[in-house]
Amino acid sequence: MERLVYLDNAATTPVRGEVLEAMLPYFREKFGNASSVYSLGRESKKALEEARETIASYFGAKKDEIFFTSCGSESDNWAIRGIAYANKNKGKHIITTSIEHHAVLHTCQQLEKEGFEVTYLPVDKYGVVELETLKNAVKDDTILITVMMANNEIGTIEPIKEIGAFAKEKGIVFHTDAVQAAGHIKIDVNDMNIDLMSVSGHKLGAQKGVGVLYIRKGTRIERFMQGGAQERNMRAGTENIPAIVGLAKAVEISCSSVEEENERLTALRDKLIDGILEKIPYSHLNGHRTQRLPGNCNISFDFVEGESILMLLDMKGICASSGSACTSGSLDPSHVLLATGLKHEQAHGSIRFTLGYQNTEEDVEAVLKELPPIIERLRSMSPLYDEFMKKGE
């Protein structure tokens, strides 16, 4: 078996060694419940509050604005429902985009069933939300704008700072899903005028099943889970101390080296994009050329099926994705690619490679060596390609 070339870091990342090391004592000797009064419990409580402080410091937040959740999806659900329910007397209109993760889209669709009104903004062909379109969508009763910081499929980075400034000027609460952006691009909640922000551990080198919701002090929001008084009585449930300690470590490592790592990954990403576009005819980059996450490369290949490419890549030890991990398995084309104007067959022929901290030049070279013959082989069996070539003659 060849070396594993893991290029699906937007789906999940391996836990960093230092993160695991930081977590281990909290499974063993320091296993106390953070609500217990004896010293074992107090030790957990101390670790919890230190983790909160660390995470806050890397995002320009205050310690008591950080709330721990079970994942990015929970953070999105809480932010949107929490704001909607707490402010329903003020208004019932929410603005989001058509390219959000399903954690946002499905939550908004559920709220529509409950009597809220939601505007799903279109995006341009690069996946960028236009500020003017957003401004025109605002109504007197708009209570929330929720726009993702960076898209999970095509990597496009949205103009969050400008959207935040506009929302602030209008007095509308602004939430951003930063699950793909946190730890990968620099974030300051004050500079970007963010009121609520979702983060997930497993996208930045921590474990799965832990997340954060940043809530700006003074924001009117309902609590999410009923039960105990954890998380300042806002989110019940015994805190997952090992996961939280690990998340803080992962945030510390990724955010403290974000600029260098950004530069390193951008160079690798561009080598991958340029190499593929140069070596494989009839291939097209999805998303913006430069306004994109440093590790994201999403390309459509005409006349072939993404799923078939994935299977052949897998046989060569290369892991990639044909859309978001949450939607692969269904045959519906990606809603994100369709929103950028791609036809169904183009969306079906797209592959996402996402680079992370553990990837090297060798991984990029492996793709550039293995992918062209795979596409050629699939096209040689494709009636569409055959037809196209005959027409061209």
Q: Which residues bind ligand PLP (CB under 6 A)?
A: 71-73, 76, 101, 103, 148, 152, 177, 179-180, 200, 211, 325-326
In the complex with ligand PLP, the residue whose CB is nearer, 243 or 366, is 243
**What's the length of the chain?**
393
Q: How far is the CB of 287 from ligand PLP (least distance, A)?
A: 14
Q: Is 122:339 a contact under the CB 8 Å cutoff? A: yes
Q: Which amino acid would we find at residue 371?
A: L
Which residue from 321, 287, 268, 351 is spatially nearest to 155, judged by alpha carbons? 287
Instruction: Please list the alpha-helical segments (H only) found in the chain.
Output: 17-23, 39-58, 72-86, 102-113, 131-137, 160-170, 230-233, 241-256, 258-279, 306-315, 335-339, 344-348, 361-380, 383-392
| C-alpha atoms less than 13 angstroms from C-alpha of 60 in its C-beta half-sphere | 13
Catalytic-role residue among 108, 297, 319, 326: 326
Is residue 108 part of the annotated active site? The answer reads: no
Beta carbon nearer to ligand PLP, 33 or 291: 291
Instruction: Yes or no: say if 153 and 334 are a contact pair by the CB < 8 Å rule.
Output: yes
Residue least distant from ligand PLP (Cβ): 72
Minimum CB distance to ligand PLP smaller for 8 or for 43: 8
Q: How far is the CB of 235 from ligand PLP (least distance, A)?
A: 15
Beta bridge partners of 214: 66, 197
Phi, psi for residue 214 in degrees, rounded to 5:
-85, 130
Closest approach of ligand PLP to the CB of residue 89, in Å: 29
Instruction: Give min distance, CB of 147 to ligand PLP, in A.
Output: 11
Distances in whole angstroms, Cα of residue 301 to Cα of each of 114, 126, 309, 333? 41, 17, 10, 14
Minimum distance from residue 11 beta carbon to ligand PLP (Å): 7
Nearer to ligand PLP, 68 or 385 (CB): 68
Q: Minimal distance in Å, beta carbon 102 to ligand PLP?
A: 8
What the block records as the tokens of 215 is: 């809530």
Nearer to ligand PLP, 298 or 382 (CB): 298
Identify which of residues 185 and 366 has a Cβ nearer to ligand PLP in the complex: 185
**Burial classification of residue 30, based on how many CB atoms lie within 10 Å of its CB (0-12 exposed, 13-18 middle, 19 or more buried):** middle
Question: Rounded to the nearest 10 degrees, how much is the dihedral formed by the CA atoms of 392, 298, 102, 118?
Answer: -70
The residue (of 120 and 282) whose beta carbon lies closer to ligand PLP is 120
Are residues 183 and 258 in contact, defined by beta-carbon separation less than 8 angstroms?
Answer: yes
Q: How far is the CB of 231 from ligand PLP (least distance, A)?
A: 17
The rounded distance, in Å, linking the Cα atoms of 25 and 10 is 28
Instruction: Decide if 19 contacts 250 (C-beta within 8 A).
Output: yes
Indicate which residues carry an active-site annotation. 326
